[in-house]
Amino acid sequence: MFVADVQPPEGTVVPVIDYAQFWLVLGFLILASIVAYYFLVVFLTRPRPPKAAPVLPPARPPVHALQQEYLERVDEVARRAAAGELTPRRAHAELSVLVRGFVAAVSTVPADKMTLTDLRRTELRGVSHTVGQYYPMVFGAHDPSGTEAGIAAAREVIATWR
């Protein structure tokens, strides 16, 4: 006869036999390890996005090459002004753009996008003075008479840059 075949007498209350706490903890640990296994498999085997290469600032041409280029552009403005293709007001405006563009190309100062007040706050005193000389010529009420002084100032800023 087996123990399972033995029936308690009728009307007897049989106490509920509880499992040991060990089995409950073991069951949770097994379930947690299964979940952790699948999580790790998915996490560790997923494709990684490629690391972005560091962004390097664009290589700038040597200052000497930029000086030659901008001096040639100033000479072109002088030639066009002498030929009457540009009014003195327009010539001064183009010289201002050239000086600002040169400074932006050879330095970290974005002079081509700055107001005169912002430019005066930088340490570039000569540049801000030269650009300031162009303002009355470009925005003044009276037409300027000549472009020689403006052309000489632009050449000086560009040629003496170090």
pLDDT tens for 104-131 read: 999 888 999 999 999 999 998 889 999 9
Global pTM value: 0.63
pLDDT over 60 (residue 34): yes
Residue in the structure block whose two tokens are 């002079």: 111
- Phi, psi of 140, deg, nearest 5: -70, 165
Identify the burial level of 20 via C-beta atoms within 10 angstroms of its C-beta, where 0-12 means exposed, 13-18 middle and 19 or more buried: exposed
Mean pLDDT across 54-72: 85
Predicted local distance difference test score (pLDDT) of residue 90: 93
Confidence of residue 1 (pLDDT cuts 50, 70, 90): low
What are the tokens at 54?
């560091």
Minimum mean pLDDT among 17-21, 81-85, 108-112: which range? 17-21
Domain locations in the chain as residue ranges: 3-45, 63-67+81-159
What are the tokens at 141?
């009420």
Is residue 92 within 8 A of residue 100, CB to CB? The reply is: no
pLDDT over 70 (residue 3): no
